[in-house]
With several copies, the nearest count.
Chain A
Amino acid sequence: MNITETSNGGVAVVALEGRLDMLSAPEFRNNRSIIDPEKTVVLDLEKLDFLDTSGLGAIVGASRQKQNLACGIVLSCMNDKVRRVFEITKVQTLFHIFDDTAAAIDFATNRQSAST
């Protein structure tokens, strides 16, 4: 898996590429912005080719470590494969999900400033 990180004001955009499964979950969990409880993250899933429930568990687990439980991690650009896993498990109900990253950043930025 490739993780690309860009900073957008106070919000980190973390883009995942490749496969998020039990093998790559530790790398995801230990990412600097993911692990930081105060950091609001937009997780860009466009290029995530494969996600299973080990990867899903890592995403949920990471969001529970965030100070801002409701929108410490915001999701964007799910492709069909990834969406299928979120839908079947109903984990989609735990997140704010956007079709494009710009909208996700806007949302995350507003929420962040509202809470400070």
Chain B
Amino acid sequence: MSSIITLTLPGEIMFVRFASQTAASLARLLTDENPPASDGAQFVHDFELAVSEAFTNSVKYTGEHDALQMLTLTFEFQPRQLTVSVRDANPPFSIDRPAPDIEKGQIGGWGLMLISKVMDSVTYRRDGGSNILSMSKAI
């Protein structure tokens, strides 16, 4: 059985912590209900981190023409997995990009890379005029 929780909020950076802490609350609830075999605190932190990165990107890359938009975070709460999808109306982008190579002096571009490393699966799709970035992690 899975539960769907939806959070709609303004794409303003002032809400980045609220968004990621809301994600952390749900992750904590999941680990309380189903104590993980491995490190529960890291599960919660990784989930919080991924949402902070995704929310920040949605705020940063609105494109020049866009006024303030509402963002939608959808959480799918399952007994042993939590999925979050972040929907924005930004220009399309790709998640298949080479990781920045710090030895070649490439600085930045770490957000999507970090998300892919701390989550178990990340998918991107374009739906109408929206980007939907979905990120799952199992406990």
Residues of A within 8 A of B (CB): 19, 21-23, 50, 52-54, 56-57, 60-61, 64, 80-81, 84-85, 88-91, 93-94
Contacts and interface: CB of A to CB of B under 8 A. Distances in A.
Contacts of A23: 13-14, 16-17
Contact-residue size bin, chain B (C-beta under 8 Å from the other chain): 20 to 34
Interface of B: 13-14, 16-17, 42, 45, 48-49, 52-53, 56, 59-60, 102-103, 107-108, 110-111, 113-114, 117-118
Contacts, number: 57
Given A21-B16, A21-B52, A89-B102, A53 B45 contact: no
A94 B114 contact: no
Q: Is the interface of A mostly helix, strand, loop or mixed?
A: helix
Chain B interface main SS type: helix
B10 to A, nearest CB: 14
Contacts of A50: 48-49, 52
